Amino acid sequence: ALLERFSETMLPTEGTPLKPPQEVPVVDNIAHALSLLDPAILEQVRVGFKLFDYGAIVIGFHFARFVNLTDAQRVEYIHRWETGATIQRGVVDLLKKLTCLGYWKDIEAGRAIGYRGPVSVEGGVPNLGNAPMPAGEVDR
């Protein structure tokens, strides 16, 4: 719920050609990225997310979790964390970056602004997997 509400707040698509975040698998893309983290780091990320979500009760004086705030309250609360203590800035920055990654990882979301997909596909460049670079390219 936190990632959904955060993405709705940080990705205002109304009046733009962009796909609404509800039509993009933002949370699934973020979940995949988080699944690649080391378990100890992932636990720290989860703690940061909980601090952010439940912090609205005390820090924001809203007496409600972030996920239950109105749009205007969420924007104000995010701004408060952007200008807060180092840990607050770090958590909100991580949430922003993950939201961007989760949204723009979807190729169809990018097509709304003219992204045609990977240039390697369009140019017919074969996928070599993890093959080493050609010898002439390495020397440059």
Using DSSP, state whether 13 is helix, strand or coil. Answer: coil
The ranges of the chain with pLDDT < 70 are 60, 136-140
- Closest listed residue to residue 58, CA positions, set 18, 88, 101: 88
Q: In which residue are the tokens 């080391």 written?
A: 38
pLDDT of residue 38: 95
Q: What is the percent of the chain where pLDDT is above 70?
A: 95
pLDDT of residue 120: 79
What pTM was estimated for this model as a whole? Answer: 0.79
pLDDT of residue 65: 94
Residue 86 CA to residue 137 CA, distance in Å, equals 42
pLDDT of residue 137: 56
